[in-house]
Chain A
Amino acid sequence: MTIFFVSAISIATVLLYGCIGEIITEKAGHLNLGIPGIMCMGTAGGCLGVSLYMGTLSSPENASWILLILISLLFSMAFAAALGSIYALLTVTLRCNQNITGLAITVFGGGATNFIMSFVDRTYFDPAGKLISSSLPFADNLDGFGKVVFGHGIYVYLAIAVAVVCSIVLNRTRVGLHLRAVGESPATADAAGINVVLYKYVAIISGSAIAGIGGFYYIMDYIKGSWENAATIEAFGWLAIALVIFVLWKPNVAIFGAFLFGACFIVAFVIPDITSTQREIIKMLPYVVTIVVLVLTSIRKKREHQPPASLGLPYFREDR
């Protein structure tokens, strides 16, 4: 049971990063279907950072925990943000179709990640992964509930912190109010003197940077530094986009939503004595649940549960 919760929380963290990134982007009125590619790119960046750092050391035991965390965080955010800024350039400045651009970003991101990873030296990924996912010192002796709460790497707590901060910023600050205004009605926001283009750029790029951490976390923490290809992370990216709808664009709800999705995802692997057919059925659950939520919210039409009004529409000041 403990293993189930711990793994569910791990998957939830991957989804949570992607989801928060997408929420911020969507609040600015941009449906970024490039999130799967951007999460891949974050993975590539983080892994590159880790291998560069580990390469400078004489032996992997000398690695410093804090440096490793900081370097990997910086690299994965930078790479993801770089790809995100291409999306921002195309959709904000050049006003290209968001769905098309997003799909192109995903194609490119997946390819670029596989490409970069074929160059990255993965010799020390195993010790690096263990170091990154090492839990708080006092949590080693805990078991049961204590392990579920404290037995994770720093990235899990960072995700929750990001979600909480994001929720507060969006709902309690002037910046958040402006951002939501930009996503609801950019023309009104523009008339009110808000710099629409700047808000969109910052939201998209910072959202991408946050999403990028998710992919990297999956490689280093959840599967402890092994690497197959970008397809798994892309699948998480799509799931994260689904999660955004599931949690109704609310970062604080996303923490629980992500856990639920993570549990759905992992439950198929931990239940003993089920046939592989039943396992496949359970694996479909998160998607079915998302569709149900999508349909229910659209039927109820509650105002606070709707997507940002101008989601997916380009903004051109001279249009009427």
Chain B
Amino acid sequence: MEKQQTKQEQIKKEPWLRIVKRDALPAWKIILIYAIAIVASLLLSAIICSLFSSKNPLAFFTSLFTGAFGSPRRIWLLLQDTALLLGVAVALVPAFKMKFWNLGGNGQILVGCLAAISCMFYLGGKIPDALLILIMTVASIIAGAVWGVLPAIFKAYFGTNESLFTLMLNYIATGLVAMFITIWVKSGSGVLEPLSSGNFPALFGNKYILTVLVFLILAILMYIYLKYTKHGYEIAVVGDSPNTAKYIGIDVKRVIIRTMIISGALSGVVGLFLAGGIHHTISTASANNMGFTAIMAAWLASFNPLVMIGTCFFIIFIAKGMVEVRGNFGFTNDSIANIVIGLVYFCVIACSFFITYRVVFRKSGAKRKKTDEAKGVD
């Protein structure tokens, strides 16, 4: 008798909730889920910020907007930084489409920047600026491509783990920059003064426009490259299933190496703009962690270069806005920005779960009876 009862209980014990994979969601639902996540994370951030200061949570949002859009200069800076981040994201996206975890964006940007700066340092003043800029462009593209292709070669031939390889190359790039600074700066201050030659011209009398235009165009080109060319198709196949790729006659090794040359070279271009267009100098922090931030931006856009324009804009918007929030709320260091950005990431990452899966709750006894009857189960 007792045994029977426990047996019955065991049968009844269906889990309270279980997880089921969803079919593809319509686009508007995906956008809605992301929007809810972002709003929720910002509300959470506003509450946290107001808890640690005596301001009211609404001030958080107004500060966020004035920080990002408060003056024409701020708007241009916002656009410029968005363009740079977009540039890195565009550079990384072919690699990620191929499921090649390129965590080396920082390093690839840095070597590109370093190559451009060394041209400026050694050749500046000796040759005309136009020629110098040309040489800088070639040098930084090559440098970035080399930094990108090294892990790709080993991945293609030996299956070496690329995420760790690229991660290590970041530090070697940082080390190289630190080393060259010690060579160039004799005073020992470790700060390279901005170089005057090889600076990019201001387009239409505005020094921000060139950067914005270049990376916007690159994003559109990358969209076309990935979607409408044979190369783009090969990248997608290699990413989804290397075995299928092999079977239909795609040279997987070649695709990996070629894609990483493109990825690295484009990162190098971002470095070039940092050197020639914006800072005219270099430090170990020049890449400003964009290599990692861009991964986030690309992933949020599900690796669509056009959507990345929006995600990059959003991330930079938060970063810029937080500078103002920090000032207005009286926080002593800029760490609050990272906390808020981290919270936004958490919420957005977590909501990706609800796009691929759905949660099914255990039906109550009465409900189950009904569905069972409907199905004709006794």
Contacts and interface: CB of A to CB of B under 8 A. Distances in A.
B349 A115 contact: no
A280 B103 CA distance: 23
Given A284-B175, A298-B159, A111 B101 contact: no
Interface string B246-276: 0000000000000000000000000000000
Interface of B: 19-21, 101, 103, 154, 158-161, 163-165, 167-169, 171-172, 175-176, 178-179, 182-183, 188, 292, 295-296, 299, 331-343, 345-346, 349-350, 352-353, 356-357
B79 to A, nearest CB: 23
Given A114-B333, A118-B333, A97 B349 contact: yes
Interface stretch (A49-57, A102-110, A169-177, A203-211): A102-110
Given A99-B295, A316-B19, 4 more contacts: A108-B343, A277-B182, A287-B171, A318-B20
Given A238-B171, A298-B160, A108 B353 contact: no
- Chain A interface, >50% SS class: helix
Contacts of B176: 284
B342 A111 contact: yes
Contacts of B332: 118
7 contacts: A90-B349, A95-B353, A113-B335, A284-B172, A290-B164, A294-B165, A294-B168
A192 interface: no
Contacts of B331: 115, 118
A115 B335 contact: yes
A287 B160 contact: no
Contacts, number: 151
A94 interface: yes
B168 A104 contact: no
Contact of A290 (B19, B168, B299, B334): B168
B355 to A, nearest CB: 11
Nearest to B291: A103
A274 to B, nearest CB: 11
Nearest to B344: A104
Contacts of B339: 108, 111-112, 115
A287 B175 contact: yes
A230 B299 CA distance: 26
